[in-house]
Amino acid sequence: MSASPRALARAAAGSALAAVLVLGSAAVASAHVRVVPEATAAGGWTVLTFRVPNESPTSATTRVTVDLPTQTPLTSVSTQPVPGWTAAVERGDLPEPVEVDGATITQAPLSVTWTADGAGIGDGEFQQFAISVGPLPAAGTDLVLPAHQEYADGEVVDWDQVAEGDAEPEHPAPTFTTTEAAGGHGAAASDDEASDDDAAEGQAASGDASGSAGDASADGSATGAADGDGSGALPVVLGGLGLAAGLGALVVALLAWRRSAAR
């Protein structure tokens, strides 16, 4: 026996809602603070571009702080100017002295903080912050760079969780791994194994910040649509397709209900 129009309508509506919820949640889950290194070669300098999406529909991101490693300190850190933001590098004592290139280091840059001069990062937007750092530690070193995202309403989101196994934590810390110096600067490897295109994006966005902060390009300072990188675009596309499919199913359900009511 064939299903009634009312049953078909209910089934179509349920399928539409499920599609929208599943695909929509994928887009939300993908948005997190991440780092894209321009290069990862041990002993060299690199530009690290941090991509910070705003995840609150009601409050803007007004401050971002990135903690720098202390066991393998980055002795040289300079910031790229970002219009509408003020950057500050905090230096301080290391927990223990560290040998870097034959020298004993007791102090180093500990963190970088960007504070919005105005509105900050709004709903549906992201911002890129770049720093030039070096020298990078030995090949195979995992550099974990916890980030702290502060909102205008006082909420603070700590992106400081280290992944264990294949499962990604809810708030993963931006991370990348250094590589051998042979063959140039090495391949960029971000916390989610950014592709070559992703690395090229980070290079273009961060500009040439290998010297002083004043020499850096401002290409990476523009605020854009949320997450803005290749990995963030796919969930957005899927979410749009899911929404379109859901609307189509709802139309079918409505027509079926109207035919049933007419009888």
| Single-letter code of the amino acid located at 63 | R
Q: Report the domain count for the chain.
A: 1
**CATH code, domain with 84:** 2.60.40.2230
Asked, for residue 255, whether it belongs to a domain, the answer is no
The answer to whether residue 184 sits within a structural domain is no
Mean pLDDT estimate for the chain: 76
> Burial letters for 236-255: b for 16+ Cβ neighbours within 10 Å, e otherwise?
bebbeebeeebeebbebbee
For residue 246, the model assigns a pLDDT of: 60
Query: Is residue 104 over pLDDT 70?
Result: yes
Q: What is the pLDDT of residue 259?
A: 64
Higher confidence at residue 220 or residue 6? 6
pLDDT tens, position by position, 152-190: 999 999 999 998 888 889 999 999 999 999 755 444 444
Does the residue 53 lie in any domain? yes
Range of the domain at 73: 31-163
Question: Which has the closest alpha carbon to 35: 125, 133, 182?
Answer: 133
pTM above 0.75, yes or no: no
Mean pLDDT of 25-49: 83
Average pLDDT rounded to a whole number, residues 228-252: 55
Output the CA torsion 57→123→225→117 (10° steps). -160
